[in-house]
Chains A and B, each alone.
Chain A
């Protein structure tokens, strides 16, 4: 019966591999939460940094990241949802459609730093937006498109064909069917996709390095043409560029960023599982 021992040994090894994947995640989150808890307070979140960022809080960086994420949403949602509707409801299987799919795969694969270069070349310099929230949000929006489209398309395709047939049989036009039947049914999936895309935008550093991020700017952004601090870049700056930075502040910043991103992740998961259970088809 030795081959059953082989099987047992093999399964144990597979389990170990899974453990080796998951355990470090818990360690990372655990260490950052434990070390960061001491630093995070209401004041840390709402105060301006001062004394070369060695004292005070992270308010402008936090607001900057929220503003950037909002700007990204304003650009990415219409383009992403529109593109998804085209792919799922209108596009026929032609070579052009295959090109669009290939383009989406490629957008997903382009390194984030290359998005940064593109944003610098096109928005900051060519279109003369300067390093601004506008340039940064546009760059991040293009980067999040593939995430939004691929998740949202799955949601649209999951709506049964009968829904479309019934809508048409009642005399509805194609667009009426999409507007009043398909989109409402697919909404939770679309929202999940949007959140997953935005959470990527909120955590990214490389695309904003040359398009918007300010090293130290202790005030809130005034207009879309302003530079702003942003949490991920701020964490990079205080952990590598500023000598003698108190560890406490670094850990606190890492914790706030991690909490922001993970809470968005949790929101997406909850929306998805809640609506999956409630769905009647």
Chain B
């Protein structure tokens, strides 16, 4: 009798040992996936570096048909569109976060938060579709330009795609500012408005930086909407009026061209090379974003 119980217990322990080992493996799997992704990008992308000289790779002409793989116009295109998006999304997002967290009456909060979640859920191809059919014609007509598919159109759409991230992270940052900060501001005779801008927002600065960085990462990696509304012209955007001209981003280039290249060709490897650039860029942006969180925790003052 006793022996049987012991055997059952041993059996259960053995079963648990297997389950727990399995869970441990699953826990570590995310590290494995990041490494695998980087490994396969390298495997398919690195050959471009010994197939094509660097002067070509970092040149200003992207014409794969003539074996010209200058990534500079694509890189600048991505940066230009992303900067445009952040310039729109930063003030809107921070203001909305402040409004939701500090000012809005309850009913407005109940409406705003689900709406922002809805925005986060809209597929980028649907936003791109809307951009093509509604936003681009509007921009074309107001500017009298030959096309509405411009850097500005892309930046505008991207701003709205980055907004949910920026708003929710900035809101968390404002949430983390202790109530005593606000009380102190008000007790000094400052208005609520003065307290918000001179005490609360500065105290949440590092969190807001994180919000903007994460939004930027989101914007630079966006593919479908950007491809559908920025016009896809691989030109160097050198002057400011390029804002209302077509451009082409790294993501759109991969998406548009990968379907048509022969596997193993220089063009194929070049597209993976762009993937490496994107991977490293977003990695750096995320590291900076997260390190500001860590810094805040280490200082330990705010929570």
Contact = CB atoms under 8 A, between A and B. Distances in A.
A207 B20 CA distance: 32
A157 B10 CA distance: 30
Contact of B223 (A26, A31, A206, A265): A206
B26 A86 contact: yes
A250 to B, nearest CB: 7
Given A175-B16, A258-B122, A121 B44 contact: yes
B151 interface: no
A206 B104 contact: no
Describe B's contact surface by its main secondary structure: helix
Interface residues of B, number: 89
Given A18-B100, A111-B223, A175-B20, A206 B114 contact: no
B60 to A, nearest CB: 23
A149 interface: yes
Contact of A109 (B91, B130, B134, B221): B221
A138 B24 CA distance: 21
Contacts of B129: 235, 239, 250, 254
Interface stretch (A6-14, A39-47, A66-74, A158-166): A6-14
Given A7-B192, A83-B29, A199-B121, A14 B103 contact: yes
Interface in A87-126: 87, 90-91, 96, 99-100, 102-118, 120-122, 125-126
A279 B217 CA distance: 36
Describe A's contact surface by its main secondary structure: helix
Interface of B: 12-13, 16, 19-20, 22-24, 26-31, 33-34, 36-37, 40-41, 43-44, 91-93, 95-96, 98-100, 103-104, 108, 111-112, 114-119, 121-130, 132-134, 160, 163, 167, 191-194, 197, 214, 217-218, 220-224, 228, 251, 254-255, 258-259, 263, 271-272, 275, 278-279, 282-283, 285-287, 289-290
Interface of A: 3-4, 6-7, 10-11, 13-15, 17-18, 20-22, 24-26, 28-29, 31-32, 78-79, 82-83, 85-87, 90-91, 96, 99-100, 102-118, 120-122, 125-126, 142, 145-146, 149, 173-176, 199-200, 202-206, 209-210, 232-233, 235-236, 239-240, 247, 250, 254, 257-258, 261-262, 264-265, 269
